[in-house]
Amino acid sequence: MANGLLETLTAKFNDMNNQSNMSKVLAFLSESRFCTDCDTRIRFGDIDCPHCGFDLEDLYMQWANKLLNELNWEDEN
């Protein structure tokens, strides 16, 4: 679920001392996202689309993977 993902990301944030990575995360979270089904703008934290009710879990997983790649966490761990 998206809430579990958010908790995981928050735990990662708390482990981070790198200001550059923190800036990347904040920029990432502030980017606009859009429902893959109806293109409604999504705010981070929405579990499903406020317009059509589309389940956004897959979208969050894609965001998380992209963020992890940007921060190279997969390489370090």
Segment 36-45 long-range contacts (CB within 8 Å, at least 24 positions apart)? 45/2, 45/6
Q: Binder to Zn ion among 11, 22, 52, 61 (CB under 5 A)?
A: 52
CB atoms within 10 A of CB 13: 12
Query: What letter would DSSP give residue 47?
Result: S
* 49: contact with Zn ion by CB under 5 A: yes
* 37: contact with Zn ion by CB under 5 A: yes
Q: Binder to Zn ion among 23, 51, 65, 72 (CB under 5 A)?
A: 51
Query: What letter would DSSP give residue 68?
Result: H
**How many residues sit close enough to Zn ion to count as binding (CB under 5 A)?**
8
Our CB check for Zn ion shows the closer of 28 and 54 to be: 54
Tokens read off for 5:
């993902």
* 2: contact with Zn ion by CB under 5 A: no
Q: Which residues form the interface with Zn ion (CB under 5 A)? A: 35, 37-38, 40, 49, 51-52, 54
